[in-house]
Copies of this chain bind each other. A is one copy, B any other.
Amino acid sequence: MGFEYLTNVALEKAREEYLAKLIENGFGPISERIAVQNSCGRVTAEAVYAHICAPHYAASAMDGIAVNAKDTFNATETTPITLTADKFVVLDTGDPIPEGCDAVIMVEDIVRNQDATVTIHAAAAPWQHIRQIGEDICAGEMILPSHMEVSPSAIGAMIAGGVLEINVIKKPVIGIIPTGDEIIAPCTDPRPGDILEFNSSIFSAMVRQWGAEAQVYPIVPDKYDMIKESVEKAVSECDMVILNAGSSAGREDFSAKVIREVGEVLYHGIAMKPGKPAILGYKGSKPVLGVPGYPVSGIIVIEQLLKPLVESWLKNADHKSQHAVATLTRPVVSGLKYEEFVRVRMGYVGERLMASPLSRGSGVVSSFMKADGMLVVPQGVEGYEAGEEVNIRLLCPEEKLRETVVVIGSHDPLLDELADMMHLENSAVYMSSSHVGSMGGIMALRRGEAHAAPCHLLDTETGEYNLSFIKKYFPKGGVRLIRCVGRQQGLMVAKGNPLNITKFADIAKDGVRYVNRQKGSGTRILTDYLCKQEGLDNKSIYGYEREELTHTSVAAQIVSGSADAGMGIYSAAKLYDLDFVPICIEEYDLIIPDHAWNTPQVQQMIETLKSDKFKEKILSMGGYTVEAPGEIIELG
């Protein structure tokens, strides 16, 4: 296939022209008639008018007697009137007012006589104590205008007004076509080279959240005719179509060609990142959107380019996104040529809302899941400095960001367990943890960006953990050191230890491929220290420059056979069923600044740390010693 030239049209321009072109071609909602009972959350296609009045009859508002007010006009306290049985009707609240009557006298205000007559001591005003016809709704009145979302009480008002069916806007059906030779249906044991098809599940969930329906078509291999056939089928069956993957200008790019043959292409190539190779195609009034294969690119493309179409169709302008101003914890560098979407993790530390950019890899779907907000760097802007205040679109409720304990520092799987237990104890509390190593955590605390920094830093002079670093980096105090756990550090090696690694120095043996942790992590500092102690030259260790960010990712490399040894904690080795060569036990503690100490989320974390449940869980994971987690360590 030839390389196709991509345009670089500005996103806003492309979005507007796409919608305008589609509307010109007749794009827009279809209505359908449904039972009012099922209409909650749907959007009215046209105004709804009451058929009957509510109440539909004049009803007594009291228990008492119905009378003709005229018959009572002369009654006073001193000249009571007695009504014979033919002049009144006994009735209860809600009963209809009988013919000829036009007032109700409360049961408290009448005297019943032996001879079935009643005596009254005051005149009744016409229509007193009567619930008038139409008090709630009058026949012919507009109950709901066009293009309004139906609420539960509107359902009640419509039924009260005798409306049992209404015309609502039909949910648009979005056809989703996954393509690619290497793509397979989700499974638990994919072979190397297989790519699990989960984009259609993500996209389906997204469009359902917007109020549309999703129809997923079978995976189509990279065969031009088969893709074309599938697109034609989807266009005929659906209101909008997503053609997933194959939209980059690479060697198997059929998407643009197919869409051009089936319909037309407005733009191929948008000045956005990720998502540049998006294709804005259509057949008549039906959009056919070519979406890149990488999940993160796909999510952003359909949110930026399909969501406005769905919103236009559903005529529902209510769902606006919330924004907040936050301080960037790290710089964001962007290209001038495109608008860039950067996912960020957020949390309030004191009154400052902090935003940490997450991995920008298009394949890293978990980063999207972790994102609390989206920073948009406009086209023509090179990026932002750390510490700069930026406007961020929130992907979660703002309150959540106030209830999140922001943990930045060394990685340990126990943090996830701690987060889980905290949230189980108190569903209003969340943890957001970023793994930047022990030193990274200390630096984040110094900049006021976190509530807690887990660390395990060995002072190579004193053999003590953490204390001397606190003295050095927080010379004026202002932080507390909280005991967490003791951790067994050692070398993770393949099951059965085939290379017979028995001591630290063995990582320099010929034929041993090492996998390291990133600089600034406590484990890396320990490893560097051990190398020095053993007199090993880093350059003599194969793979010393290969860096992973967590214990589990080191373990994953070893279990896959792509590395033979890596320094890490016992629990990671156990999780991956690896052999383990113990080296030392280290102290893994939490540094917490004084200003964060009394926040509910930090107090909940400390309480959970101190709980028996936490100790049990940690001991069951193996490789930890638990003394008195949650205790404040004297800084001496």
Whether a CB of chain B sits under 8 angstroms from the CB of A2 is: no
Q: Are A428 and B37 in contact, with the CB atoms below 8 A?
A: no
Q: Are B186 and A140 in contact, with the CB atoms below 8 A?
A: no
Q: How far is the CA of A138 from the CA of B548 in the complex (A)?
A: 11
Q: How far is the CA of A57 from the CA of B194 in the complex (A)?
A: 9
Q: How far is the CA of A157 from the CA of B576 in the complex (A)?
A: 19
Contact with B along A226-267 (1 / 0, CB 8 A): 000000000000000000000000110000000000000000
Whether a CB of chain B sits under 8 angstroms from the CB of A6 is: no
Contact with B along A304-332 (1 / 0, CB 8 A): 00000000000111111000000000000
Whether a CB of chain B sits under 8 angstroms from the CB of A579 is: no
For A610, the chain B residues whose CB sits under 8 A away are none
Partner of A139, one of B142, B196, B205, B576: B576
Partner of A188, one of B47, B52, B320, B559: B52
Q: Are A209 and B152 in contact, with the CB atoms below 8 A?
A: yes
The A interface, classified by DSSP as helix, strand, loop or mixed, is: loop
Q: Are B553 and A205 in contact, with the CB atoms below 8 A?
A: no
Smallest CB–CB gap between A124 and chain B, Å? 12
Q: Are B152 and A552 in contact, with the CB atoms below 8 A?
A: no
Partner of A550, one of B138, B145, B369: B138
Whether a CB of chain B sits under 8 angstroms from the CB of A171 is: no
Smallest CB–CB gap between A144 and chain B, Å? 8
For A299, the chain B residues whose CB sits under 8 A away are 152-153
> A132-B553, A198-B159, A317-B427 in contact; A209/B365 too (CB < 8 A)?
no
> A157-B366, A369-B151 in contact; A317/B428 too (CB < 8 A)?
yes
Q: Are B552 and A160 in contact, with the CB atoms below 8 A?
A: no
Q: Are A134 and B553 in contact, with the CB atoms below 8 A?
A: yes
Contact with B along A148-161 (1 / 0, CB 8 A): 10011111110110
Q: How far is the CA of A51 from the CA of B135 in the complex (A)?
A: 62
Whether a CB of chain B sits under 8 angstroms from the CB of A337 is: no
Q: How far is the CA of A148 from the CA of B546 in the complex (A)?
A: 35
For A513, the chain B residues whose CB sits under 8 A away are 102, 126
Whether a CB of chain B sits under 8 angstroms from the CB of A137 is: yes
Q: How far is the CA of A129 from the CA of B416 in the complex (A)?
A: 30
Q: How far is the CA of A132 from the CA of B550 in the complex (A)?
A: 13
Oligomer: number of copies: 2
Whether a CB of chain B sits under 8 angstroms from the CB of A218 is: no
Whether a CB of chain B sits under 8 angstroms from the CB of A468 is: no
Smallest CB–CB gap between A207 and chain B, Å? 9
Q: How far is the CA of A427 from the CA of B43 in the complex (A)?
A: 11
Whether a CB of chain B sits under 8 angstroms from the CB of A454 is: no
> A146-B420, A188-B162, A419-B145 in contact; A193/B156 too (CB < 8 A)?
no
For A52, the chain B residues whose CB sits under 8 A away are 188-190
Whether a CB of chain B sits under 8 angstroms from the CB of A211 is: no
Q: Are A562 and B133 in contact, with the CB atoms below 8 A?
A: yes
Q: Are B138 and A201 in contact, with the CB atoms below 8 A?
A: no
Whether a CB of chain B sits under 8 angstroms from the CB of A143 is: yes
Whether a CB of chain B sits under 8 angstroms from the CB of A202 is: yes
Q: Are A141 and B413 in contact, with the CB atoms below 8 A?
A: yes
Binds B, one of A89-97, A276-284, A490-498, A581-589: A89-97
Question: Which residue, A148, A295, A369, has most C-beta atoms of chain B within 10 A?
Answer: A369
Whether a CB of chain B sits under 8 angstroms from the CB of A199 is: yes
Q: Are B133 and A557 in contact, with the CB atoms below 8 A?
A: yes
Q: Are B556 and A134 in contact, with the CB atoms below 8 A?
A: yes
Whether a CB of chain B sits under 8 angstroms from the CB of A423 is: yes
Q: Are B553 and A159 in contact, with the CB atoms below 8 A?
A: no
Whether a CB of chain B sits under 8 angstroms from the CB of A36 is: yes
Smallest CB–CB gap between A336 and chain B, Å? 23
Smallest CB–CB gap between A553 and chain B, Å? 5
Q: How far is the CA of A57 from the CA of B190 in the complex (A)?
A: 9
> A151-B369, A209-B40, A424-B147 in contact; A556/B156 too (CB < 8 A)?
no
Partner of A555, one of B138, B396, B553: B138
Smallest CB–CB gap between A609 and chain B, Å? 16
Q: Are B141 and A201 in contact, with the CB atoms below 8 A?
A: no
Closest to A92 in B: B251
Whether a CB of chain B sits under 8 angstroms from the CB of A125 is: yes
For A136, the chain B residues whose CB sits under 8 A away are 361, 363-367
Contacts beyond the supplied A126-B546, A152-B205: 4 A-B pairs with Cβ under 8 Å? A36-B201, A138-B556, A146-B424, A155-B202
**Which 6 pairs, one residue from A and one from B, show the smallest C-beta to C-beta distance?**
A40-B205, A152-B205, A57-B192, A159-B198, A134-B556, A96-B192
- For this complex, 30 residue pairs linking A to B, each with C-beta atoms less than 8 Å apart, are A36-B201, A40-B205, A40-B208, A54-B365, A94-B193, A125-B545, A126-B545, A127-B546, A135-B363, A135-B364, A135-B553, A136-B361, A137-B366, A138-B556, A139-B552, A140-B575, A143-B369, A144-B369, A145-B420, A145-B424, A147-B424, A148-B423, A156-B365, A159-B196, A160-B196, A160-B198, A162-B196, A315-B427, A317-B427, A318-B397
